[in-house]
Amino acid sequence: MLGKQGWNLITKPDSLIARLLKARYYCSGDFLSTRLSHNPSFTWKGLWSSRAILLKGSRWRIGDGCSIDVWNNPWLRDAENFKVETPIIHDLAHLKVHDLWIHSCKEWDVELLRGIFSPRDAQAIASIPLSSKSPPDLLIWHWDNHGNYMVKSGYRIARWLSLHGNLPSRPVAWNMLWDLSIPPKTKLCLWRACKGCLPTRSALCARGMPVTDTCVLCGGYEEDLMHLFLSCPFALSCWLQVDLIPSVNGVSSFLDWFFMLLTNVDKEVVGRVGSIIWDARLGSDQKLSNGNANTQVKWSKPSPRMLKCNVDATIFSEHQTIGLGMILRNEFGSIIGCYSKVVNGVSSPKEAEALGLREAARWLLELRVSNVIVELDVKGVYDAFYSKALDRSEFGMLIQDCRSLFLDQSFTLCHVKRQANATVDALAKAASSFASPSFWRDASPLLGAILAFDVSISSH
* Region for residue 225 given its phi and psi (left: phi exceeds 0; alpha: psi -120 to 50; beta: otherwise): alpha
- Kindly give the residue spans of alpha helices, DSSP state H, lying in 165-246: 170-178, 184-195, 201-206, 225-226, 233-241
Decide: 63 and 392 in contact? Cβ < 8 Å.
no
Region(s) of the chain under CATH 3.30.420.10: 307-459
Residue 158 CA to residue 401 CA, distance in Å, equals 34
Number of C-alpha atoms within 13 angstroms, CB side, residue 9? 27
Long-range CB pairs of 395-400 (<8 Å, 24+ gap) are 395/145, 395/348, 395/350, 395/351, 395/354, 396/146, 396/147, 397/61, 397/63, 397/129, 397/131, 397/135, 398/129, 398/131, 398/351, 398/354, 398/355, 398/358, 399/354, 400/131, 400/133, 400/135
Q: Do β-strands 321-329 and 307-316 pair in parallel, antiparallel, or remain unpaired? A: antiparallel
Q: Which amino acid is at 273?
A: V
Residue 24 CA to residue 34 CA, distance in Å, equals 12
Decide: 213 and 202 in contact? Cβ < 8 Å.
yes
Between the alpha carbon of residue 4 and those of residues 48, 154, 156, 250, the distances in Å are: 12, 8, 14, 14
Which homologous superfamily does the CATH classification assign to the domain defined by 307-459?
A: Ribonuclease H-like superfamily/Ribonuclease H (3.30.420.10)
Our CA dihedral for 368, 373, 374, 377, rounded to 10 degrees, sits at: -170
> Where is 324: in which H helix or E strand?
strand 321-329
Residue 268 CA to residue 257 CA, distance in Å, equals 17
Q: Which amino acid is at 218?
A: C
Decide: 345 and 353 in contact? Cβ < 8 Å.
no
* Region for residue 333 given its phi and psi (left: phi exceeds 0; alpha: psi -120 to 50; beta: otherwise): left
The pLDDT of residue 354 is: 94
The pLDDT of residue 296 is: 62
Decide: 271 and 207 in contact? Cβ < 8 Å.
no
- Burial profile 45-55: b = 16 or more Cβ within 10 angstroms, e = fewer: eebbebbebbe
Count of residues in the chain: 460
Q: Which amino acid is at 87?
A: P
Between the alpha carbon of residue 79 and those of residues 46, 172, 213, 392, the distances in Å are: 26, 12, 32, 17
* Region for residue 219 given its phi and psi (left: phi exceeds 0; alpha: psi -120 to 50; beta: otherwise): left
Q: Cis check for the bond before 437: say yes or no (omega within 30 of 0).
A: yes
The pLDDT of residue 457 is: 40
Decide: 289 and 296 in contact? Cβ < 8 Å.
no
Decide: 377 and 420 in contact? Cβ < 8 Å.
yes
Residue 217 CA to residue 238 CA, distance in Å, equals 13
> Where is 356: in which H helix or E strand?
helix 349-367
The pLDDT of residue 271 is: 63
Tens of each residue's pLDDT in the chain, 460 residues: 678 888 888 888 889 988 988 888 888 788 888 888 777 888 888 888 888 888 888 999 999 999 999 999 999 998 788 999 999 998 899 999 999 998 778 889 989 999 999 999 998 999 899 998 889 999 999 888 889 988 877 877 777 666 665 555 555 567 777 777 777 777 788 888 888 888 888 888 887 777 787 877 777 778 888 888 777 777 777 666 666 666 666 566 777 777 776 666 665 566 666 666 666 656 655 655 555 445 567 888 999 999 999 999 988 877 888 999 999 999 998 889 999 999 887 777 889 999 999 999 999 999 999 899 999 998 889 999 999 988 999 999 999 999 999 987 889 999 998 888 888 888 888 888 887 788 887 765 556 655 655 554 434 4
SS3 66: coil
> Which residues have a Cβ under 8 Å from the Cβ of 119 and sit 6 or more positions away?
none
Q: What's the pLDDT tens digit per position in 245-273?
A: 666 665 667 777 777 766 666 655 666 66
